[in-house]
């Protein structure tokens, strides 16, 4: 029997026992058992092995995959004692994930989406993005990396991609003790600029070298929402990356002009390419600058915009950094408001998971007070539907996007 593709019977599986009073989150289907919750491990599991998790009285909690190299000692996948973590199980999870996107997200005008969103799709440690005919896979758990050949085969079976590219996020190898090689794992090598459709527009994506996984798919619906407000506007798209917001405002939202600002030249080169692909290059100007510095200069020159988008990268990776990050969000938003005309639209985003929606709202309330401007939140938004969130693992809800009118 292949220990990876076929799960052994329950009785012969190693067991991880949880400390007294620490089992409740896992009965409630939280998928991460951290080292601190573990009372004992029996049966000598190797990293990647399937284990049974029990509470301190021996009651079955869940089936999961063990990793002694990681702070997440066990990732849980099945809360049914009889559902083994075998090929049939992974097959069903992938099928369910793909069906969500086929039914509700992908269509002629949107050919790129997050196909598998880790915990929320019951596949903790696996993220897959579809870019047209290609799939980009990220493995963030050693146990799933050990099962990668099965997962790749199943993705081929269910999605028939032209190729699958594997890419590993910085830092994950050390966190999980992963030894995997990035690159082509199935089919044909993708182009350096894959052309995708989003909301009926065309964007180029570099899956190998582009930031994050090549494109910020999570903002798709927020870009379309913004387009309702921008007719005739002078738009400032800060932290523009490849121009997702700005180009949508110009092409779908009929904005008069858009300035895309980013500190990365390759990002702006893609923005320029995207502007051309959508026939709006005359409206788009790309400026390489630090966004804070750009705003300070604009304020000193008394510039005015009708719409400003703020979509900065994550400002903290830890809870302890949240306070400092909130101060940075405050300065950024305060600066933006100072160059926004009365009645203008502010789209302010936060992708730091350690900052709650309430904290972010409070930050904005502080900006209203400090600037003496009245801010109305018109839409309080999050990720698009292809980035579902599990109510059992709210840690995965990171994106906040507020569309506001500033008087």
Contacts with ligand SAH, residue ranges (CB under 6 A): 211, 216, 219, 239-242, 244-245, 262-264, 267, 290-291, 311, 313
Using the minimum distance from each CB to ligand SAH, give the nearer residue, 154 or 403.
Answer: 403
Shortest reach from residue 271's CB to ligand SAH, in Å? 9
Q: What is the DSSP string of 27-69?
A: HTT--EEEGGGEEEEES-PPTT-EEEEE-TT--EEEEEEE-TT
Please name the residues in contact with 51: beta carbons below 8 A apart, sequence gap of 6 or more: 13, 14, 15, 16, 41, 43, 45, 63, 64, 65, 66, 74
Using the minimum distance from each CB to ligand SAH, give the nearer residue, 77 or 294.
Answer: 294
Among 60, 13, 16, 8, smallest CA distance to 34 is for: 16
Shortest reach from residue 261's CB to ligand SAH, in Å? 6
Phi, psi of 169 (to 5 degrees): -65, 145
Question: CB nearest ligand SAH: which residue?
Answer: 244
Using the minimum distance from each CB to ligand SAH, give the nearer residue, 49 or 311.
Answer: 311
Shortest reach from residue 222's CB to ligand SAH, in Å? 8
Shortest reach from residue 184's CB to ligand SAH, in Å? 25
Shortest reach from residue 263's CB to ligand SAH, in Å? 4
Shortest reach from residue 30's CB to ligand SAH, in Å? 29
Shortest reach from residue 133's CB to ligand SAH, in Å? 21
- How far is residue 150's CA from residue 160's CA, in Å, rounded to a whole number? 15
Please name the residues in contact with 166: beta carbons below 8 A apart, sequence gap of 6 or more: 136, 137, 138, 139, 148, 180, 181, 182, 183, 184, 185
Shortest reach from residue 13's CB to ligand SAH, in Å? 42
Give the full edge-to-edge strand order of the sheet including 38-42.
Answer: 32-34, 72-78, 60-66, 50-54, 15-18, 38-42
Please name the residues in contact with 304: beta carbons below 8 A apart, sequence gap of 6 or more: 234, 339, 340, 341, 344
Using the minimum distance from each CB to ligand SAH, give the nearer residue, 265 or 369.
Answer: 265
Using the minimum distance from each CB to ligand SAH, give the nearer residue, 15 or 211.
Answer: 211
Shortest reach from residue 293's CB to ligand SAH, in Å? 8
Shortest reach from residue 349's CB to ligand SAH, in Å? 7
Phi, psi of 113 (to 5 degrees): -165, 165
Using the minimum distance from each CB to ligand SAH, give the nearer residue, 165 or 245.
Answer: 245
- How far is residue 367's CA from residue 125's CA, in Å, rounded to a whole number? 37
Count of other CB atoms within 10 angstroms of residue 231 = 12
- Give the ranges where 66-125 is alpha helix by DSSP (H): 87-104
Using the minimum distance from each CB to ligand SAH, give the nearer residue, 176 or 262.
Answer: 262
Q: What angle do CA 330, 334, 337 make, to 5 degrees?
A: 140
Size of the chain, expressed as the number of residues it contains: 407
Q: What angle do CA 218, 344, 399 make, to 5 degrees?
A: 20
Beta 257-262 vs 234-238: how paired, if at all? parallel
Using the minimum distance from each CB to ligand SAH, give the nearer residue, 74 or 217.
Answer: 217
Among 313, 332, 316, smallest CA distance to 324 is for: 316
Q: Rounded to an integer, what is the distance from CA 216 to the centroid of its chain?
A: 8
Using the minimum distance from each CB to ligand SAH, give the nearer residue, 91 or 269.
Answer: 269
Using the minimum distance from each CB to ligand SAH, give the nearer residue, 43 or 313.
Answer: 313
Please name the residues in contact with 149: beta carbons below 8 A apart, sequence gap of 6 or more: none
């Amino acid at each position: 029997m292949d220990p990876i593709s076929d799960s052994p019977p329950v009785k012969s599986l190693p067991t991880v026992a949880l400390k007294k009073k620490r089992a409740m989150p896992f009965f409630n289907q939280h998928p991460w058992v951290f080292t601190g919750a573990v009372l004992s491990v029996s049966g000598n599991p190797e990293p990647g092995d399937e284990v049974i998790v029990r509470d301190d009285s021996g009651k079955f909690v869940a089936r999961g995959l063990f990793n002694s190299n990681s702070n997440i000692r066990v990732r849980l996948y099945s809360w049914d004692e009889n559902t083994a973590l075998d090929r049939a199980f992974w097959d069903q999870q992938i099928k369910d994930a793909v069906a969500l996107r086929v039914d509700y997200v992908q269509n002629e005008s949107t050919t790129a989406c997050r196909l598998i969103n880790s915990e929320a799709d019951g596949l903790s440690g696996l993220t897959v993005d579809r870019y047209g005919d290609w799939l980009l896979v990220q493995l963030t758990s050693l146990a799933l990396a050990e099962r990668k050949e099965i997962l790749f085969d199943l993705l081929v079976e269910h999605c028939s991609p032209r190729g699958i590219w594997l890419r590993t996020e910085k830092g994950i190898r050390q966190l999980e003790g992963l030894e995997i090689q990035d690159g082509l794992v199935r089919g044909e090598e993708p182009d350096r600029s894959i052309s995708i459709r989003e909301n009926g527009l065309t964007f180029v994506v570099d899956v190998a070298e582009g930031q994050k996984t090549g494109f910020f798919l999570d903002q798709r619906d927020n870009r379309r929402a913004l387009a309702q407000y921008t007719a005739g506007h002078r738009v400032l798209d800060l932290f523009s990356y490849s121009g997702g917001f700005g180009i949508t405002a110009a092409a779908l939202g009929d904005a008069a002009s858009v300035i895309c600002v980013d500190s990365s030249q390759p990002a702006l080169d893609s923005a320029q390419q995207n502007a051309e692909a959508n026939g709006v290059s005359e409206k788009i100007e790309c400026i390489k600058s630090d966004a804070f510095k750009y705003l300070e200069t604009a304020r000193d020159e008394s510039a005015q915009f009708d719409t400003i988008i703020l979509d900065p990268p994550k400002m903290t990776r830890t809870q302890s950094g949240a306070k400092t990050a909130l101060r940075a969000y405050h300065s950024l938003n305060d600066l933006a408001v100072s160059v926004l005309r009365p009645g203008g639209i502010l789209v302010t985003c936060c992708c730091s998971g350690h900052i709650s929606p309430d904290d972010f709202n409070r930050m904005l309330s502080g900006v209203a007070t400090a600037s003496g401007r009245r801010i109305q939140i018109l839409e309080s938004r999050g990720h698009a539907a292809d980035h579902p969130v599990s109510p059992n693992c709210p840690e995965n809800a990171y994106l906040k996007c507020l569309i506001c009118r500033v008087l």
